[in-house]
Chain A
Amino acid sequence: MGNHSDGSPNHSGTVATAGQHEVEKFQDPGLPPHRLRLADTDPKAAKRAERQVAALFATSVVGTVIFLVAYFAIDLGDDSSIATIRLQNALLGIGTAFAMLGIGTGIVHWAKALMPDHEVSEERHAIRTEDDRQAAVRIVDDIVEETGIKRRPLIRNTLLGAVALAPLPALAVFGDLGPRPDDKLAHTMWAPTDGKLKRLTRDPDGTPIKASDVTIGSAFHVIPEGLNELHEGKLNEKAKAVVLLMRLDPASLNPSAGRETWGYNGIVAYSKICTHVGCPVALYEQQTHHLLCPCHQSTFDLTQECKVIFGPASRPLPQLPIAVDDEGYLVATSDFKEPVGPSYWERDEHERSINS
């Protein structure tokens, strides 16, 4: 590319450590002469600076008072309005800001205007001298010699072994941080209990949904029947079981072989948990039939069984097979046919065991 030294006489470029010979460099002229400040020469200016510093410290006192008044005079009773809280917050902020900035700017102004501003030069010292290094080596040699660790390999080796094994209990005690995963991720609450199919119910109130309630273009956020009555692990179950229920023109759905009966008159139910990293995919565009995840923008096409058409997800959303019971309510005919949510190492194994 060439040398851009603009006719510099030195372009041999063989030494990276020193570009120029000393003679060809400008000599360091040393520290520039000290320039006096106004306050150094004019006693009036100094007096003025002094008063300014004092005024800044006084502002700080005012700030402290504002804080205390705001804290004690405004009482957050039971019926405190948002406006009161906002007022108090702003006053506490302004009080603290004045109190702190008053002290801070006061001290700095004092230092800048009144304290000596002569720049001084100090020599750097070697971080390590050769003398120190030799002394340290001698000391270490002596220590090693006195322990006799080199002469007594038996002691050395047993100690190494002991030290290597000693942390194991520390690791072991963390073994109960959580249970083993087993196949917990493969099953959800939708599996029928004692042969009774679970109804699809509204999130959050848990009331069952009739097929006739689901009109074209509508989207229902669904939880399984009985979820709200769980006493333990409610959120864990909900995290796997949430479903989005939508109705489309049956003609626009293109169910693949074996999935024809998973919907009901154009009503389909898909897991809301993104197959990417698990955000709820709840943004349903009723005209384009796209589902969008708000976290990472994975887009799923409902008319292609929720195939990924954009974004970082790789796998379609799992479909929940549904039907209508005697009373006209929507029910899940089985659990999901695959684990829901983000992928994990054992997922494929679990999927195979679900379908076997």
Chain B
Amino acid sequence: MKALSQKRRHPLAAIALLLMGLLLTGGLYAVATTVNEAKASTAEFTATDTQEGEKLFEANCATCHGMGASGTQDGPSLVGVGAAAVDFQVGTGRMPMQMNGPQAYKKPAQFNDTQTHQLAAYVASLGPGPAIPAEELLDEKGNAAEGGELFRVNCAMCHNAAAAGGALTRGKFAPALADVSGKHIYEAMVTGPQNMPVFNDSNISPEGKRDIITFLKQIEANGSPGGADLGALGPVSEGLFVWIAGLGVIIAFTIWLTSRTS
């Protein structure tokens, strides 16, 4: 009896942890919605990917996120966050986190594409969650104008109308979106990394997200028609510029103008 229960404790405990994780974070997610189901994701991942991913996870992530990604005090459970969350967090270098702080910074990725893929496979295997977006959603051939409207309503208040980023409370911030790949923008929308809200497919449809990415990539490629954009930060950088550069040059001229010629 005792031996039997000891044998069985291990898998049962894992299941119990899994269920708890589901309840804690992904529970309502999975119950209340039919959106964001992992459509093609599982097909992309092989069993090897998952196994390799588990090894990588245990070596690099389990300290904070716990064995079986069930979460600890230092890191949330990753059950049900989906492959998209892993691809975003690891792909942009935010995870593994360098140190605890108000928020994880973007930095050079620590894992290569294969490793990221394997990690994503492992986390996706733990519970259904948003998948890595399909290529056709990232082709940047949507409707930029409609994307712009969606961007202004849903994103501009944090990320700035020109996607130059902005401040949040207590040291957190919404990053600038230039140089962020369409895939990562898409994944951020569906997973809501850190304090960013989730924009699931029933809030902004996949086509809408494609439009937003199209808009962002188009304004990035266009650049500013009026010349240097001064950080696209609006009146503050313009004011600073006129005081320092504008008045500076004018003062230089006035000094020349009123000086005596030798």
Highest count of chain B CB atoms <10 Å: which of A39, A86, A214, A283:
A283
Residues of A within 8 A of B101 (CB): none
A266 to B32, CA, bound (A): 12
CA distance A39 to B202 in the complex (A): 80
Given contacts A89-B226, A215-B28, A280-B157, contact A38 B198 (CB under 8 A): no
The chain B residue with its CB closest to the CB of A294 is B157
Chain B window 130-152, contacts with chain A (Cβ cutoff 8 Å), 1 for yes, 0 for no: 00000000000000000001100
CB–CB A39/B261 < 8 A: yes
B157-A266 in contact (CB<8A): no
In the assembled complex, which residues on chain A have CB atoms less than 8 Å from the CB atom of B111?
none
A283–B158 touching, CB < 8 Å: yes
With a cutoff of 8 Å between Cβ atoms, the chain B residues found around residue A246 in the complex are 197
- Asked if B166 and A294 sit within 8 Å, CB to CB, the answer is yes
- A217 touching B261 in the complex, CB below 8 Å, given contacts A86-B224, A89-B227, A285-B172: no
| A283 with B192: CB separation less than 8 A | no
| Contact, CB under 8 Å: B224 / A286 | no
In this assembly, does A227 line the interface, its C-beta being within 8 Å of a C-beta of chain B? no
Answer whether residue B168 sits at the interface, using C-beta atoms and an 8 A cutoff: yes
Q: B235 to chain A: which residues have CB within 8 Å?
A: none
- Contact indicator B199/A218 (Cβ below 8 Å): yes
Assess whether A286 is in contact with B154, with CB atoms less than 8 Å apart.
Answer: no
- CB distance A86 to B169 under 8 Å? no
Instruction: Report the stretch among A8-16, A152-160, A202-210, A254-262 that lies at the interface.
Output: A202-210
**Bound-complex Cα distance A288 to B194 (A):** 10
Task: Using A37-B262, A280-B157 as known contacts, say yes or no to A217 and B168 having CB atoms under 8 A apart.
Answer: no
Within the complex, what minimum Cβ distance (angstroms) separates A175 from chain B?
A: 36
CA of A211 to CA of B34 in the docked complex: distance in angstroms?
A: 12
Residues of chain B lying within 8 A (CB to CB) of residue A121: none
Partner of A85 from B172, B199, B225, B257 at Cβ < 8 Å: B225
**Shortest distance between the CB of A110 and any CB in chain B (Å):** 11
The reply to whether B196 and A286 form a contact with Cβ atoms under 8 Å apart is yes
* A204-B149 contact, Cβ under 8 Å, with A215-B200, A218-B192, A218-B197: yes
Query: Do the beta carbons of A215 and B35 come within 8 Å of each other?
Result: yes
CB distance B35 to A213 under 8 Å? yes
- Residues of A near B169 (CB, < 8 A) are 285, 288, 290, 292, 297, 299, 310
Complex CA–CA separation, A282 to B155 (angstroms): 9
Chain A hits for B192, CB < 8 A:
217-218, 286
Q: Does A51 make an interface contact (CB < 8 A)?
A: no
One digit per residue, 1 when the CB lies within 8 angstroms of any chain A CB and 0 when it does not, for chain B 159-196 equals 00000001011001010000000000000000010111
Is B34 touching A86 in the complex (CB atoms < 8 A)?
Answer: no
Q: Is the interface of B mostly helix, strand, loop or mixed?
A: loop
Contacts of A35 in B (CB 8 A): 260
Residues of A within 8 A of B260 (CB): 35, 37, 112, 117
Q: Given A283-B168, A286-B192, A292-B169: A212 and B32 within 8 A (CB)? A: yes
B33 within 8 A of A: yes
- A209 nearest CB across to chain B (Å): 8
Min Cβ gap B185→A in Å is 17
Give the residues in chain A near B36, CB-CB below 8 Å: 215
Chain A residues near B150: list those with CB within 8 A: 204
Q: Least Cβ distance of A212 to chain B in Å?
A: 5
A108 within 8 Å of B (CB atoms) = yes
Please encode chain A, from 13 to 36, with 1 for each CB lying within 8 Å of some chain B CB and 0 for all others.
000000000000000000000010
* A142 interface residue (CB < 8 Å to B): no
Contact of A82 among B33, B199, B222, B261 (CB under 8 A): B222
Which among B35, B154, B194 is the interface contact of A221 at CB below 8 angstroms? B154
Q: How far is A218 from B154 in the complex, measured between Cα atoms in Å?
A: 11
Structural contact, A286 and B195, CB atoms closer than 8 A: yes
The 3 lowest CB-CB distance pairs between A and B, nearest first, are A213-B202, A219-B197, A285-B195
14 residue pairs A–B, Cβ–Cβ below 8 Å: A82-B222, A86-B226, A93-B227, A117-B260, A204-B153, A211-B32, A216-B198, A221-B153, A265-B32, A283-B174, A287-B195, A288-B169, A288-B195, A294-B166
Interface residues of A (CB under 8 A from B): 35, 37-39, 82-83, 85-86, 89-90, 93, 108, 112-113, 117, 202-204, 209-221, 246-247, 249, 265-266, 280, 282-288, 290, 292, 294, 297, 299, 310
Told that A85-B225, A218-B203 touch, could you supply 13 new A-B pairs with CB distance under 8 A?
A: A35-B260, A89-B227, A212-B34, A213-B35, A215-B36, A215-B198, A216-B198, A217-B192, A221-B154, A283-B158, A283-B174, A285-B169, A290-B169
